[in-house]
Amino acid sequence: MTVIAELLGIPEGDRHHLRPWSADMCLMYELNPSDEAARRAVTASVEFGSYLRGLLAERRARPGDDLISALAAVVDDGDTLTETELVATCVLLLNAGHEASVNGAGNGWWTLFRHPDALARLRAEPSLLPTAIEELLRFDTPLSLFERWVLEPIEIDGLEIPRGSEVALLFGSANRDPAAFPDPDLLDLGRDPNPYLSFGAGIHYCLGAPLAKLELGIAFETLLRRVPRLEPVEPPRWKSTFVLRGLEALRVRV
């Protein structure tokens, strides 16, 4: 979150707002959100949007060496970038840039703690990290579902899906498909090939996937090296959300 804030140009004194705003805004992605969840999501969206518009005005007057200043310089009436598009870009960077990475890290460590043989292998063979990160993202998918709109009629396994339908893509299920993965319920840190769908596919493939894998690789490598005896203190509690699947916290002993 600190890196994203520095990239955007969020003043240090304002950064404590970002995590609560992001968590509340992400409630809008959940299935059948409650009235309270919807209210929190809308409130956070309005507050963050208003904050960014104020910051944009400041950066127009006094540009800095940050992304908002750079974008502010090209905001126009729509030929290049509108103010609303700038706000949406910043929100995307905030939410997509950290929510899935946080969940991927927490879920991944909890998976390793529940598979001590795999954790021991990774500690002995740190060169496995690139494939291990991808396998952990497959094994416990941090973004388990996303929705898309059907633009053209299509038939899948005899089921006709008309144009305009809304479909829910269960990435978590696809990542355990026995037709695509031998022994799909087995954690194999060296799995190759590994056609997992945690970052989506096609034209909707996650733009930040390379950065997310880089972040996770650095985080896991650093903890494995600096804290070789890391172990859990207690079973974690899962967040009540389904779409963005992650832990409330993961308490460990170093």
Catalytic residue list? 96, 99, 101, 206, 215
Q: What DSSP string describes 123-179?
A: HH-GGGHHHHHHHHHHHT-SB-EEEEE-SS-EEETTEEE-TT-EEEEEHHHHTT-TT
Of 27, 17, 90, nearest to 244 (Cα)? Answer: 27
**Residue pointed to by tokens 């905001």:** 75
Name residues whose C-beta falls within 8 Å of residue 99's C-beta, 6 or more positions apart in sequence: 22, 23, 26, 244, 246
Question: How far apart (Å, rounded) are the C-alpha atoms in residues 95 and 91?
Answer: 6
